[in-house]
A and B are shown apart, each in its own frame.
Chain A
């Protein structure tokens, strides 16, 4: 079970990294979403199997809990990554509206067009 999780986390990380390094905005977006999922799975794996660790909520009947703390961390991390992804979508859409591109290569190295604003020109 631990090995499966480790393999899955590794696969997710490599796929996410591959996607982030692409030039297309949509692929980058998917890359970031996958990356946050990979980390969440990694956090879950850190809690380990239910081996009788104490939890802060004490119930007299059961003694063997999965450690709840990583789950709380994941919940928080999911909310945060949701917010940031939403922002990322809006930013990429704004880039599309402003520059008419869907690809980082075209955005930073336009083939033609105005060269009046160089890379270090202030606004």
Chain B
């Protein structure tokens, strides 16, 4: 039953090997790629078998029993998240392989990437609040380093708010751990959950849940604590931006999901209502931010926020169906958002910029890319046959059932504005002819016509 920890040790090992194997080469990249594929396939196998048998694998590290020892748990939800993290890591690595030649890749990028994956996977399998803190720190430190690794002076300026707010968030998380230990006498999720209902009237629980809400709002980018996100994600290199956009905020949502459904008492309706309203505000403010931006990565970064709003709204409604919708939405969002970032990166490769006023005409130059973008964008906006629709549909049904009409109206408005800003990218980058300067296809792989000497 050692499987839960394999998902943590394997990327850690690959990261360490990457540190020792200094020079980025095709061999090192293939090694990283095969390890990421191994993780993905393993997680897929576990997700299917665990879901079919509806069981969970529990590992007590060092055989220390639950209230004292550290537990890691692999249940179907964790396995699904592990599959998604592995899969988006694979996509990011593949994209990075084709974007940059091995010689121009920074030697530390790949080890740091795998340390980031270690932190993400640990936060999925851990069954212990303090271990979750450690997982978040591994994840954050790697993300700080990746954010500033290949940055210029303007980028560093944008990285500082990310660092500062996450430092405060980590400190608050540690504070929450201390309060949890005083309150429950244990940091084990299962142990805490068994005591949750007897503590429901304790005023200290209010403090604990407020702190947790604050911490995970920072991690997930909820209103009004989202300012760090839309400025810091666009400075990352494309494959890393896709991975960050797909996974990092979703770790916050996943952990919020775990906390609200297991550790905190189930009849804590004030907290759920707060979550739902905060989510509504996040949706609206995120999508308005997206409408105001005019470069692809900026628009997509703001969209992360409004989509996070849908997921947290589903948690806040707190019915079995809406929680299922939340899981569905997380799966949909990770895949779609990572893909859209990669497409945005390809547009940047092709045009030398992703500024919508200076791109255009890509529909003729790269129709396959345009088709990919169209499907992903419509799915993000929630057009019926595509995956984004079903999560939204379930959330709407539950919201109308609970008579939260204002929140449902906010979700609808956010959906329409999402469609609008996706259309803006579509028109700007793909459909419209290039206004001022001619289209510069810098990457020969997308260049269908024979290359002209002036380009």
Residues of A within 8 A of B (CB): 20, 28, 32, 35-36, 39-40, 42-43, 45-46, 48, 56, 69-70, 73, 76-77, 80, 83-84, 87-88, 91, 94-95, 98-99, 104, 107-108, 117, 120, 122-123
Contact = CB atoms under 8 A, between A and B. Distances in A.
Contact of B156 (A40, A42, A94): A94
Q: State the 10 A-B residue pairs at the shortest beta-carbon distance, nearest first.
A: A98-B153, A43-B178, A46-B178, A46-B182, A39-B174, A122-B295, A80-B137, A56-B68, A35-B171, A42-B178
Nearest to A20: B168
Given A80-B134, A117-B154, 16 more contacts: A39-B171, A39-B178, A43-B177, A69-B68, A69-B187, A84-B167, A88-B163, A91-B163, A95-B160, A98-B156, A98-B157, A104-B160, A120-B293, A122-B295, A122-B354, A123-B152
B42 interface: no
Contacts of B164: 20, 28
B298 interface: yes
A47 to B, nearest CB: 8
A40 B137 CA distance: 16
A120 B130 CA distance: 37
Given A32-B167, A35-B171, A56-B64, A122 B141 contact: no
Nearest to B167: A32
B353 interface: yes
Nearest to A16: B171
A107 B148 contact: no
Contacts of A28: 164
19 contacts: A35-B167, A36-B174, A43-B181, A73-B177, A76-B134, A80-B137, A80-B141, A91-B156, A91-B159, A91-B160, A95-B157, A98-B156, A98-B157, A99-B157, A107-B157, A120-B295, A120-B298, A122-B297, A122-B355
B392 to A, nearest CB: 28
A98 B90 CA distance: 34
Nearest to A54: B68
B144 A87 contact: yes
A35 B72 CA distance: 30
Interface residues of B, number: 42
B357 to A, nearest CB: 12
Contacts of B171: 35-36, 39
Contacts of B156: 91, 94-95, 98
Contacts, number: 94
B160 A42 contact: no
A42 B141 contact: no
A9 to B, nearest CB: 10
Contact of B141 (A20, A56, A83, A95): A83
Main secondary structure on chain A at its contact with chain B? helix
Interface of B: 64, 68, 130, 133-134, 137, 140-141, 144-145, 148, 152-157, 159-160, 163-164, 167-168, 170-171, 174-175, 177-179, 181-182, 187, 234-235, 293, 295, 297-298, 353-355
A45 to B, nearest CB: 8
Contacts of B160: 91, 95, 104, 107
Nearest to B64: A56
A73 B173 CA distance: 12
A114 to B, nearest CB: 11
Nearest to B297: A122
Contacts of A70: 178, 181
Nearest to A32: B167
A91 B130 CA distance: 27
B178 A91 contact: no
Given A36-B171, A39-B171, A56-B64, A123 B178 contact: no
Contact of A123 (B140, B141, B148, B234): B234
Q: Which of B68, B163, B174, B234 has the most CB of A within 10 A?
A: B174
A104 B157 CA distance: 10
B148 A94 contact: yes
Nearest to A40: B174
Nearest to B157: A107
Contacts of A73: 130, 177-178, 181
B179 A46 contact: yes
Nearest to A119: B231
Contacts of A48: 182
Contacts of B145: 87
Contacts of A39: 171, 174-175, 178
Contact of B155 (A80, A120, A123): A123
A24 B435 CA distance: 45
B451 to A, nearest CB: 26
Nearest to B236: A123
